[in-house]
C-alpha cells in the first residue's frame, strides 16, 4: 500500500472525502494542500527525507484568489512534480470531461489513473489505487468510454488544431490562409484551408464551422 500520499485540492470538503477514502485503505500518512505551489514545496521537502511521497492525487482546476501562484493548475503541478520525482504515481481527480484534455494528460505525462468526481468517486479512487499497486492504469468508466471513441482526435494534427483555434477567434477562411502563409506553415493556400476544414467537418460530423468550433472546444482541441 502507499505510504505517503499528497492530495492537491482547493476544496476542503473534497479533501476530507478523499482523506476518508484513503483511511479506509489503511493509508495513514496523508498530506493535503489547497495550492499547487505549496504542494510542490511539500513534495520537494519530503524528497529530502527517508519517506518521500509515493502518490499524488490532484485536481486540475484551482480557483484563483488573493495569493499569487506560479503553478496555477493541476497539469502544471504534475509536470513540475514529475520533473523532481519521476517515479511518483499520479491520480488525476477532476470533473474535467473533455477527451482532448484527458488524452493530452495521458499521452504527455503517462498518468497512472484518471478518476472523475461524482457519486462513485470513493469507489473509483479505491479501484484506481489497487490497480496502480498492481502496475496497471485505471480510468473511470465514463473516461474509458470517451477514450474508446477518441480515434477521431488521433487523426488531427497540430495544424488542424491551429485552424480550429483561428476559427474560434472569428477569422475567415481567407484570413486563416493569410496567417498560414505569413507563418510559413504548410498547406497555406485558400483551397488547402478549405479542404482541411471540410476534412474536419467530416471527421467530427459537423455541418457548419460554428458547430465544428463547438465540437473542438468540447473535445479539448481549442
Taking the domains of the chain in order of start, what are their residue ranges? 4-150, 155-218
Q: What pLDDT is attached to residue 119? A: 85
Q: Higher-confidence residue: 189 or 129?
A: 129
Burial of 151 (0-12, 13-18, 19+ CB in 10 A): exposed
Question: What pLDDT digit, counting tens, does each position of 55-102 carry?
Answer: 999 999 998 888 888 998 999 999 999 999 999 999 999 998 877 788
C-alpha span between 89 and 53 (Å, rounded)? 9
Question: What pLDDT digit, counting tens, does each position of 10-31 carry?
Answer: 999 999 999 999 999 999 899 9
CATH number for the region 4-150 comes to: 3.40.50.2300
| Per-residue CA distances from 78 to 83, 95, 214 (Å) | 8, 17, 28
pTM for this prediction: 0.70
DSSP-based three-state secondary structure for 100: helix
Compute the average pLDDT of residues 182-199: 87
Residue 138 has pLDDT above 70, yes or no: yes
Sheet containing 89-94, strands listed edge to edge, beginning at the edge strand earlier in sequence: 29-33, 4-8, 55-58, 89-94, 113-116, 138-139
Q: What pLDDT is attached to residue 5? A: 97
Query: In the chain, what percentage of residues exceed pLDDT 90?
Result: 59
C-alpha span between 19 and 7 (Å, rounded)? 8
Helix (H) or strand (E) holding 6: strand 4-8
Residue 117 has pLDDT above 80, yes or no: yes
Amino acid at each position: 500500500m502507499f505510504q505517503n500520499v499528497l492530495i492537491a485540492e482547493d476544496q476542503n470538503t473534497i479533501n476530507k472525502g478523499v482523506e476518508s477514502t484513503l483511511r479506509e485503505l489503511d493509508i495513514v500518512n496523508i498530506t493535503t494542500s489547497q495550492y499547487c505551489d505549496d504542494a510542490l514545496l511539500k513534495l520537494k521537502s519530503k524528497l529530502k527525507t527517508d519517506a518521500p511521497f509515493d502518490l499524488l492525487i490532484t485536481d486540475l482546476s484551482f480557483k484563483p484568489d488573493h495569493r499569487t501562484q506560479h503553478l496555477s493548475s493541476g497539469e502544471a503541478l504534475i509536470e513540475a512534480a514529475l520533473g523532481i520525482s519521476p517515479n511518483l504515481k499520479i491520480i488525476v481527480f477532476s470533473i474535467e470531461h473533455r477527451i482532448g484534455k484527458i488524452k493530452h494528460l495521458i499521452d504527455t505525462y503517462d498518468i497512472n489513473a484518471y478518476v472523475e468526481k461524482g457519486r462513485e468517486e470513493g469507489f473509483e479512487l479505491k479501484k484506481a489505487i489497487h490497480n496502480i499497486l498492481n502496475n496497471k492504469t485505471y480510468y473511470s468508466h465514463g473516461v474509458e468510454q470517451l477514450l474508446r471513441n477518441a480515434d477521431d482526435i488521433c487523426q488531427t494534427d497540430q495544424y488542424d488544431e491551429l485552424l480550429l483555434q483561428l476559427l474560434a477567434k472569428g477569422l475567415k477562411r481567407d484570413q486563416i490562409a493569410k496567417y498560414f502563409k505569413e507563418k510559413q506553415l504548410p498547406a497555406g493556400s485558400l483551397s488547402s484551408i478549405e479542404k482541411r476544414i471540410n476534412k474536419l467537418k467530416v471527421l467530427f460530423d459537423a455541418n457548419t464551422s460554428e458547430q465544428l468550433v463547438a465540437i473542438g472546444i468540447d473535445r479539448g482541441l481549442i
